[in-house]
Each structure stands twice: as structure tokens, then as C-alpha cells.
Amino acid sequence: MVSSLYGVDQEQKEIWVFLEQEKGNLESVSLELLTKGREMADQIGWGLSGFILGEDLESLAHQAFNYGADQIYLASHPLLNTFTIETYSHVVFEAVMEARPSVFLYGATPNGRDLAARLAVRFRTGLNADCTDLRLDTQGDLLVSEVSGFGGGVLALIEMRHHRPQMATVRPGVFSSSPTTPRKKTEIITIPVSLTEDMIQTRILERVVGEVVDLSSAPVLIAGGRGSDNAFQMLQELADLMEGEVGGTRPLVDEGYIPRERQIGQTGVVCSPKLSLCCGISGAFHFIVGIDKANTVISINSDPDAPIFEFSDYCVVADVHQVLPALIKVLRSMQEVSNA
């Protein structure tokens, strides 16, 4: 077995969180991981640290203190303003080798995944990707990562007994974030950074921002599946009437009906709406993961035995092409009455 660069006997009993920022704003998943990290750290009496890279980002450190961090490592340099794997992995690698935390968590964003994977190879440690839950085994000081496998049929609990740091990625929306009273003692630790342009192998020529949609925080979700093909206009109309967002299952993304950022589920977005209306969706595990946290689920499916009904609060056995126009008609007339 290949050993990691540092082992259990050299670790510091700390949880670290990669605090990803975009133009001076922390990603929501970073705050979610701080909240979860605080909960775990309190159970075992460990410290919780965040790691921020960028330039002049002290205000973000104070924001992180409001989510439970004890310490913030701040790496400030103009070449860290934009994520590049060479600079970020270089700086984080050096800092981790110095401080040797036991646990290091990352958001499963494109940058978080990129960084975690690169560092896992450099530390020669493991990486549990897309965890659906995390806990600390207080007996053995081990991170227990819940990961779904075999097409969702199995939930595996993975422990890293010998390799450090114990690393995991978690997708946005899996945990919730909640501000807390800052710790009595907080500290900002400034990391010395020496970077040069020639370390960066990639050049950003142009930045194209696609449609920005945050399904994870939409209060109302109108979700379409294969059974709602040809009904997208109605799904959008419903979403407009109910001040919600349209999302869908993976087949709809694969077939090009909806953009990837609107895919709900295990390999899409995990949502926690107040209301989710599922139209023509069978209810595969991979999809259900994405709406599991909805307060209320209403499903319309023509098959009375569709698995989605097991996860629904209200079940409508019907053709979506008949139900949706009727629903839109009612909502429109309600809107007209309230506008009158």
C-alpha cells in the first residue's frame, strides 16, 4: 500500500474547508460545508479552519467566522484572483503540508473537484467524491463519508484509516448553511505566497458566462421528465405563474431539451424547494436524490405504479398533457382575480 505524504501519527486534529470564491463572493457550498464542519468539529472537540485564495479578501474571512470557522488561512496574490489549477494546488499543497489537517472538505463545483483531485494525487491520499453525508467517528477520529454506488442501489460508508488528509467533495445543496455566533477566539493566518506567471500552463482568453440559474435555492421547482416531452412551454408557464424554476431529469438534458445546469439529481443539482411538482418522471433513485429535501412533492404520472409516487405527498395518476393546461388555467384565473 502506498503511504500518504503524512500519516495519522502526524495529523493535526482539525477540519479544513476549501472556501471557494468567485469575484469576491463565497460559493454557497462553502458556507454549507462550514456549517457541517462546525457540527462535526463540536462533536469531537476539533478546530475548524477555512482556506481562502484570492486578493484582498479579508471580508470573506469575517463572513466565514459567522459560519463557525475558528481560523481562516488567507492566501493573497494577484495570480490567485482567478482559479488556475497550477497556482491553487501549489499554494494549498504547501499550506497543508505545513499544518497537516486530518480532514479537508471541498465543494463539488468544477473548481473544487479539480483542486481536490489534483491534491489527492499529490498527497497520495484518497478522495470520496460527491458524498451524500459526512460524519466523524468520534472513537477512531475517522471521517465517515456516505457515497452512493452501483447506480444508487447501494449506500457505501467509506473510512480512510491510514491516509491523510481524509478528503471529500460534497455537491451544493446537500447540506444547509446557517449563520452562527462567531467563536470567542478567531484568527486570520496569512499564508506567504510566491507565484510567478510562468507556473501557469493555461491562459484564459475569454470568459463566457452562460445562463446563471440556482436551482438549489428555488422555492418552487417544476420538474419535467420523459413523460412531459412536448410540454416544456407549459412547464415554463407554470414556473412563471408560481414564481419557480424549471428543472428536469437527465434524459431531458442528454436529449438536449434542457441545459445541463437545470438537471436535478445525483449528477445534477440537489434542490430543497418548498414545493416540487414532478411531471412525467418515473422516480429513479438518481433523480430522487435531487428532490429528497423538498417540503412537499406533487407528482403527475400516467402509471399508477410509478416509483415516484412512493416519494410523493400528493399523487396524480393522469396524463400531464391534460393536467397541466387545467392547472395553468386555474392559476391564471387566480392571478387575474388577485390583480383585479
Ligand X SMILES: Cc1cc2nc3c(=O)[nH]c(=O)nc-3n(C[C@H](O)[C@H](O)[C@H](O)COP(=O)(O)OP(=O)(O)OC[C@H]3O[C@@H](n4cnc5c(N)ncnc54)[C@H](O)[C@@H]3O)c2cc1C
Residue 126 binds ligand X (CB under 6 A) = no
- The window from 2-10, 235-243, 258-266, 324-332 that contacts ligand X (CB under 6 A) reads 258-266
In whole angstroms, the minimum distance from the beta carbon of 268 to ligand X comes to 4
Say if CB 159 and CB 120 are below 8 A apart.
no
CA 69 to chain centre: 19
Q: How many residues bind to ligand X according to rule CB under 6 A?
A: 27
Secondary structure class of 194 (helix, strand, coil): coil
φ and ψ at residue 240, rounded to 5 degrees: -65, -45
165, amino acid identity: P
74, amino acid identity: L
Residue 226 binds ligand X (CB under 6 A) = yes
Q: Applying CB under 6 A, which of residues 123, 287, 309, 311 lies at the interface with ligand X? A: 287
Residue 254 binds ligand X (CB under 6 A) = no
Q: Applying CB under 6 A, which of residues 24, 110, 149, 151 lies at the interface with ligand X? A: 151
Q: Applying CB under 6 A, which of residues 300, 309, 324, 327 lies at the interface with ligand X? A: 300
CA-based nearest residue to 16, from 86, 69, 55:
69
Segments in the chain forming alpha helices (H):
28-44, 58-65, 85-99, 110-123, 232-241, 250-254, 285-288, 320-339
Say if CB 163 and CB 19 are below 8 A apart.
no
Question: Binding string, 179-218, against ligand X, x = CB under 6 A?
Answer: ----------------------------------------
Say if CB 73 and CB 50 are below 8 A apart.
yes
Nearer to ligand X by Cβ, of 58 and 303: the residue is: 303
Nearer to ligand X by Cβ, of 81 and 302: the residue is: 302
Residues that bind ligand X in the complex, under the rule CB under 6 A: 151, 225-227, 249-251, 263-268, 280-282, 284, 286-287, 300-303, 306, 319-321
